[in-house]
Amino acid sequence: MTKKLHILFLCSWFPSKEFPTNGDFIQRHAKAISLKHSVSVLHIVPSKQNAKNTIEKSVEKNVTTYIGYVKQTKNPILKAIRFYKAYVQILKLIGNYDLMHVNTLYPFGLFALHQKIIKRKPYIISEHWTGYLKSRKYSIPFFQKMCSKLIVKKATFVCPVSNELKKEMQDLGLKGNYIPVGNVIDTALFIPSNEKNIEFTIVHVSGLNNAQKNISGMLQVAKLLENSIPGFTWKFIGGSSEKYQKIIDKLEFKTAKIEFLNHVSQKELAKHLQKATVCVSFSNYETFGIVSLEAIACGTYTITTNTGILNELELQDFFSIIPVKDKNTLTKEIMTQYNNPTKLEVEKMHLFVKDQFNQDIIAEAFSKLYFKSLNRNS
């Protein structure tokens, strides 16, 4: 029987009272790894609600989560001091551990670096951040870049969620031992269903950030479709319509139903994806693209841009890949699914995702890297 380890998850992002959906994919990683090992999560977040620093602990099976809520401040030095104090407090509560798993290397990789120096504990990194992508055109501050180079160099393994992210990180001079490992897809929840909406329904799911997700582009496509697909529905799930109301008013939709839904639970999301005719991701940049795989696992045809993980997988008949910002091609692809829908083999679609990204597969991939890290460190 394989030895059970105690893994310290150092998380730059993680769901909390302040940001309930921030890094929920990292939470799924923790749950997956807890199938094989014991996991302690350390996360610290500035709090508008708390007048003083507090630490909250929660336990779910093999995952113990410690979230430090520190009083918010605009002073970066004071903020760093408060974060460090919370980090030290939480470490005392956690006690001994075998290895660190950093989730999003900056800034919490600095804590891993500190532990490696004083306790000689190894660490691996999972990376998700879009800031490394050239297409995002984000200029990483000098101090952050220098720290990131050192954090990556000292890690035993660096695990970007896609090969594209690996390449972009290496191009930035972040030299390390790279082994891509994807995100977890909950293939027990995201399953095919016979329930489909009667009307033609398009679904998009994200945080509805226009710079990344191109919501305005999809609204324009919806207007182009209005004359060809009578009474269709396009659901935007993950936020309100408030910042897009001017565009919606300007487009003057007549028959198309444009719906905006705030964040929904994973269970509700699965139902929306199961019932949809088509799932659309029209991102300008993406490191992975979890929702596209969740939709495919539900047996729903998916259209995505040539960013993220689907662009790296073998092309199948149940998804199509289109160029970034190409509204005409997106319109044509949706029209094809309306006029001549693909005959979908939903079980094949589900297995396509399950065989590559279910929690057992990802847990096993990380578990192997943990033991290799410990062997190298001994």
Neighbours of 172 (CB within 10 A): 17
Same domain, 244 and 99: no
**Same structural domain, 170 and 83:** yes
pLDDT at 137: 77
Torsion angle in degrees (nearest 10) through CA of 369, 293, 288, 306: 140
Are 48 and 128 members of one domain? yes
Query: Could you give the maximum distance between any two Cα atoms of the chain, in Å?
Result: 68
Does the residue 283 lie in any domain? yes
191 lies in a domain? no
DSSP letter assigned to residue 318:
T
Give which of 271, 115, 267, 101 is closest to 194, Cα–Cα: 271
Assess whether 229 and 350 both reside in one domain.
Answer: yes
Answer yes or no: do 46 and 122 share one domain. yes
Residues facing 126 on adjacent strands: 103, 159
39 and 59 together in one domain: yes
Both 346 and 222 in one domain: the answer is yes
What SS3 state is found at 96?
coil
Half-sphere exposure for 354 (CA within 13 Å, toward CB):
15
Tokens of 142: 């000098």
d(CA 275, CA 286): 25
Parallel, antiparallel or unpaired: strands 201-205 and 278-281: parallel
Backbone angles phi, psi at 335, to 5 degrees: -60, -35
- Domain range holding 13? 6-185+358-371
- What does the alpha-carbon distance between residue 262 and residue 239 come to, in Å, rounded to a whole number? 4
My answer on whether 61 and 124 are in the same domain is: yes
Task: Please give the full DSSP string across 253-282, using - where no structure is assigned.
Answer: -SS-EEEEE----HHHHHHHHHH-SEEEE-
Res 301: pLDDT: 98
pLDDT in tens, the chain (378 residues): 468 999 999 999 999 999 998 999 999 999 999 999 999 999 999 998 776 889 999 999 899 999 999 999 899 999 999 999 999 999 999 999 999 999 999 999 999 999 999 999 999 999 999 999 988 878 899 999 999 999 999 999 999 999 999 999 999 999 999 999 999 999 999 999 988 889 999 999 999 999 999 999 999 999 999 989 999 999 999 999 999 999 999 999 999 999 999 999 999 999 999 999 999 999 999 999 999 999 999 999 999 999 999 999 999 999 999 999 999 999 999 999 999 999 999 999 999 999 999 999 999 999 999 999 999 876
* 279 DSSP β-pair partners: 203, 302
- The answer to whether position 41 is within a domain reads yes
Please check whether residues 224 and 109 belong to one and the same domain: no
E strand segments, the chain: 6-11, 38-47, 54-60, 63-71, 99-103, 123-127, 157-160, 201-205, 233-237, 257-261, 278-281, 301-305, 319-322
CATH, residue 281: 3.40.50.2000
Specify if 251 maps to a domain. yes
Q: How far apart are CA 195 and CA 105, in angstroms?
A: 41
Q: How many structural domains are present in the chain? A: 2
Claim to verify: residue 13 and residue 134 sit in the same structural domain:
yes
Same-domain check for residues 296 and 284: yes
Both 150 and 249 in one domain: the answer is: no
